[in-house]
Amino acid sequence: MICTSAPGKLYVAGEYAVVDPGQPAVLVAVDRRLTVRLDEPAEAGVGRVHSDVYPTGPLTWGREAGSGEVVVAHDARDHVGATLRTVDRLRAERGLAPGCFDVRISSDLEDEEGRKLGLGSSGAVVVALVAALDRFYRLGLTPVQRFQVALLATVQVSPRASGGDLAASTFGGWVRYTAPDRATLARALPLEPVSALLGSDAWETFDVQQLPVPPDLDLLVGWTGSPASTDLLVAGVHGVDADAVARRADFLAASSDCVGDLVAGLRCDPARAMDAVRRARRLLQELGRDSGTTIETERLRVLCAVAEQHGAAAKPSGAGGGDCGVALVPAAASSAGILAGWEAHGIRHLDLSVSPPSERSPGP
């Protein structure tokens, strides 16, 4: 019936700051994708979600007899169930007829053995499913509204999620992103219509801007083979005492400066962009030391060191603790030397390119 897809993502800078509303980060969408297909249901009135993430069989969903609301078997609190419910609320608010369908999810965001590569599969499935349901119900959502609905679904499962992965997967390319006030949105979601929340003041700090492809820098991605839990790592760096609050303020200011220099450098100054990446790495190292959290693992340290030895700038991508590292490589540097060094230390090069913009962002 309907087939949509969304790219994965990687953070380049700002990952631990972006969880605060209005704090910037830079991400890229990558050319590995997750695909969602909606088909006629095999059984009338009962939908099934087929995905490798449900190893015991498809997730089953239907509708409550009186209200017509979506009911998911076992009340699964996962991203797919939350997305089905959120979009269906919007469908009902607009007076559109309910429907039933099977969902089939396939993904290139894992390796051959099904291990996650840290490319944002949870965000990609929400973005792709929102796009499919938008078409199925003929909601006519704009790209920004699809992002907003995706974030409303996501905060029900991952309240700490910034939405940066959703922005990269929705808009594609290189993006600068700042998050809305998700805590306010999450509190209001059970009480207010979804359509009203799309115009809420909580979105005032949200912004996404498309950035140019840097003409003189290549992006290399290495995978350490150690998956990480973003929610746990982000939770671990937020202290509540006065010293922690002061350090957090200093970290946010320094991170914002790094992202600003990175954005400016991507436009016309490769050396400035590389310096920003190196400073962003040092900030993550300091954050890890101050909070007692392992952000830069030994393999991520080696990944960065090898890249630096060959003239590139590198850092962990995302929450760290494993998963991926990224390197900005100027023309004069040796990509071959970096890849050989990574391979010698058991770090896998992910052959990724930046996915081109798929939607026009609302920013300048």
Q: What is the pLDDT of residue 57?
A: 82
Neighbours of 287 (CB within 10 A): 21
At position 115, the amino acid (one-letter code) is R
The phi, psi pair for 5, rounded to 5°, reads: -145, 165
The 10s digit of each residue's pLDDT in 182-219 is 999 999 999 999 999 999 999 999 999 999 999 899 99
Confidence band (pLDDT; 50, 70, 90) for 90?
very high
The yes-or-no verdict on residue 225 having pLDDT over 90 is no
| CATH tag for 2-211 (out of 3.30.2020.30, 3.20.20.70, 3.30.230.10, 3.40.50.300) | 3.30.230.10
Same fold? 2-211, 217-350: no
The encoded tokens of residue 72 equal 């998911």
Give the least confident one: 130-134, 172-176, 286-290: 286-290
**Domain ranges across the chain:** 2-211, 217-350
The yes-or-no verdict on residue 89 having pLDDT over 90 is yes
Q: Mean per-residue pLDDT for 79-106?
A: 96
Q: What is the pLDDT of residue 53?
A: 78
C-alpha 53/C-alpha 96 separation (Å) is: 30
Cα dihedral 279/282/284/285 (nearest 10): 180
Please identify which residue in the block is written with the tokens 């490319």: 119
Q: What is the pLDDT of residue 238?
A: 57
Q: Mean per-residue pLDDT for 261-290?
A: 95
Q: Of 351, 358, 299, which is closest to residue 119 (Cα–Cα)?
A: 351
Please state which CATH class domain 217-350 belongs to.
alpha beta
Helix (H) or strand (E) holding 208: strand 207-211
At position 147, the amino acid (one-letter code) is F
The alpha-helical segments, DSSP class H, found in the chain are: 79-93, 121-137, 143-155, 164-171, 182-188, 194-197, 230-236, 242-268, 270-291, 298-309, 335-344
The yes-or-no verdict on residue 78 having pLDDT over 60 is yes
Cα dihedral 249/251/252/256 (nearest 10): 140
Q: What is the pLDDT of residue 362?
A: 74
CA 267 to chain CA centroid, Å, is 23
The 10s digit of each residue's pLDDT in 328-354 is 999 889 899 999 999 999 999 999 999
The 10s digit of each residue's pLDDT in 14-49 is 999 999 999 999 999 999 999 999 999 988 889 999
